[in-house]
Amino acid sequence: MSANQTDSGTVLKVQDLGKQVSSPEGQLTILDSVSFDVSQGEIVALVGPSGAGKTTLLALLAGLDRPTSGDVVLCDESLNGLTEDGRAELRGRHVGFVFQSFHLVASLTALENVMLPLELSESSDAAARAREVLENVGLGPRTGHYPRQLSGGEKQRVAIARAFVTSPSVLFADEPTGNLDTASGDRIIDLLFELNRLSGTTLVLVTHDKELAARCDRVLELEAGRLLQED
């Protein structure tokens, strides 16, 4: 068992999760009593129409937001039981992110972008590890390039390298192919799945792509904040 695996084999436990926000019309329910478990190494797609609550759910799973009710247990730790600093520290140890809009730092090279999470955790071999992961995603020759010098697909590969460089237990991906053409998107998904296979990292993907969802181990469908029954 790797250092980032949980004793139970369940990396995410979502318990009766609810999220309400205030609006001019009164309380608005974004998520309503959502419960599910995700096992170590599993690839799970979150699908549903726009406004169904997918991105809100992803933020709650990662401890980036607080639920109104319920709890998330991430790598055997209750997020409700942690302070904001505690949740940030847990994310640093166990979580990687890939976003639709890449979120690279424009003033840093590809290598420096990938080194960033390692430097934040005071890793002693940040440059060597970042270079190795960039080689793994096919960007060895591009380590010194800045984001403006990279294509969309290359930027997303840098983002994936940055997400995987800390060997996370869970990787959350929010529409990872949303800003890419079909061919580039297909290559990015193949890469994500290959890295998942090699590392045992759990993937939770928000996607509108039905073909991508069909390739995942399991599909969780949200509608109006509620989780529909799995087939």
Q: Provide the sign of the torsion angle of the four alpha carbons 83, 59, 74, 185, taken in this order.
A: negative
Q: What is the pTM of this model?
A: 0.86
pLDDT of residue 188: 87
pLDDT score at 3: 40
Report the pLDDT value the prediction gives residue 230, as an integer from 0 to 100.
64
Q: Which residue has the tokens 């129409």?
A: 49
Q: In what order do the strands lie in the sheet with 95-99?
A: 95-99, 170-174, 202-206, 43-47, 218-223, 226-227
State the 10-residue block means of pLDDT for the chain, 231 residues long: 52 95 90 95 93 92 93 94 92 88 93 91 87 92 96 92 90 88 87 87 91 92 88 50
**Of the candidates 155, 218, 211, the residue with the CA atom closest to the CA atom of residue 188:** 155
Q: What domains sit in the chain, N to C, each tagged with a CATH number?
A: 10-227 (3.40.50.300)
